[in-house]
Amino acid sequence: MKLGFDNDKYISMQSQKILERIGRFGDKLYLEFGGKLFDDYHASRVVPGFLPDTKINMLCELKDSAEIILAIHAGDIERNKIRSDIDIAYDREVLRLIDAFRKRDLYVSGVVITRYREGQAAVDSFAERLTRLGVRVYRHYPIEGYPKNPKFIISEEGFGRNDYIETTRPLVVVTAPGPGSGKLAVCLSQVYQEYSRGVRAGYAKFETFPVWNLPLTHPVNLAYEAATIDLDDMNMIDPFHLEAYGVSTVNYNRDVESFPVLNTMFTHIYGESPYKSPTDMGVNMIGYCITDDDAVCAAARQEIIRRYYQAACAFKRGRVEKEQVYKAEFIMSRAGVSVEDRHVVAAALKRAEETGAPAMAIELPDGRMITGKTGEFVGPAAGALLNTLKALAGINKNIDLLSPVVLEPIRSLKLNHFGSENPLLHSDEVLYALSISAATNPTAALAMQQIPKLRGCEAHSSVMLASADRSVYRKLGLNCTSEPNRQGNKLYL
């Protein structure tokens, strides 16, 4: 994939912008960190050149003056909400994030459970678990009329009812396992409570998307809408910024709706607000670091198509309503793309038609299409991986990397001892077998050396993949989509 972003420039500019904003307020800055600090694969797909851990690496440059608060919505704990890109529940993701922050010597001051209500057993259990693990836990409560009743919100019965989170450093980053966790309310509550304690604290927002200084219908901004259709987010021109400065900038509905609360609160505390618009609140510099707009637009359009397939498959699995599929289709039309623009789709469907069985295709960076069919021992996802590794290594496609002598015992173990009803091996199983074979087989070893080259390749399946195959493709960095078709009559995928 052609790069279109200067990652080093971004880290430098973004760090400097945050430091400038800290100096603007005096004692302390609460920085709402939108998006993902770690593993931001959406950003790396949409803006090629942006590395998945760019934001955490930038934050590490400020670690001596920073601490982190993690926010999680009580309802997401109750519903066991899953972070779809890595298939992990939000409560477990909180623990993973704390470990990841600590590994980088970043200080985590605590976890705040937002919109907490008495009697939520799963939430209370999670809070108790965190406490036993030595993590401080705070509770913030639902506020009637939020965000449209500023007078009540900014009172002792509103923000004043929340637990006060003890912080000690000038930069307090408020982040979360996913969107809709209540980060903004946590920041505003803390600013209010700091003021009541004689501390002059400020607020700023670091939201990667939508990009405020790109056009409203730029593919990068449309890709953000496609990624958040479950939240009903909608990009829009910031009306406050347009009125104040006569300049059109892009924001999204939740920030625009919440801005009057922040504006009223700052006026209440300081006598005037430092911000005239939601755009003013932001510190995002990503738009200044795009070096090739054509490359970025092309990548974003592909992400929009991938998000359509994701929604279609989620609907087929019964996880979302049909409305989300309609929204994804509408965003595709706004971006001027269709599934035909994802070339790997046609290759997978053609192979499936030729063989009369599920098939998979992988597109290499040089445009080559490698396919995998349903075989005697392996499913199409595993077959496509093996064939792609052979192509990358220059191994003759007629050479078997794994012989039936190796594969049969694995299949027997699955069927006779693990209770599996599927005689075909998944991607993880064939890769384990290949890695073992590589110890004595130079050809297998050559194929194994190609695995890093899979990252960034496009892949498509004619049927929805099993969770084991989806997980492997995701971990290897392939951008995988599937037709919203079940394989046979299987309900569990």
User: Would you state the pLDDT for residue 490?
Assistant: 61
pLDDT in tens, 79-112: 988 887 677 889 999 999 999 999 999 999 999 9
Residue 493 has pLDDT above 80, yes or no: no
0.85 exceeded by the pTM? yes
Return the pLDDT at 489. 60
Mean pLDDT score across all residues of the chain: 92
Q: What CATH architecture is 349-482?
A: 3-Layer(aba) Sandwich (3.40)
Q: Is the pLDDT of residue 24 over 80?
A: yes
174 alpha-carbon distance from chain centroid: 17
Span(s) in the chain for CATH 3.10.630.10: 7-223+236-289
User: For residue 92, how many other CB atoms are within 10 A of its CB?
Assistant: 14
Residue-wise pLDDT for 283-312, tens only, equals: 999 999 999 999 999 999 999 999 999 999
Residues of the chain with CATH 3.40.140.40: 349-482
Q: Phi and psi dihedrals of 360, rounded to 5?
A: -140, 150
Instruction: Select 7-223+236-289's CATH number: 3.10.630.10, 3.30.930.10, 3.40.50.620, 3.40.630.10.
Output: 3.10.630.10
pLDDT of 155 strictly over 70: yes
* Residue 240 pLDDT > 60: yes
Task: Check the CA dihedral 41-45-47-50 and report its sign.
Answer: positive
Q: What percent of the chain has pLDDT over 70?
A: 98
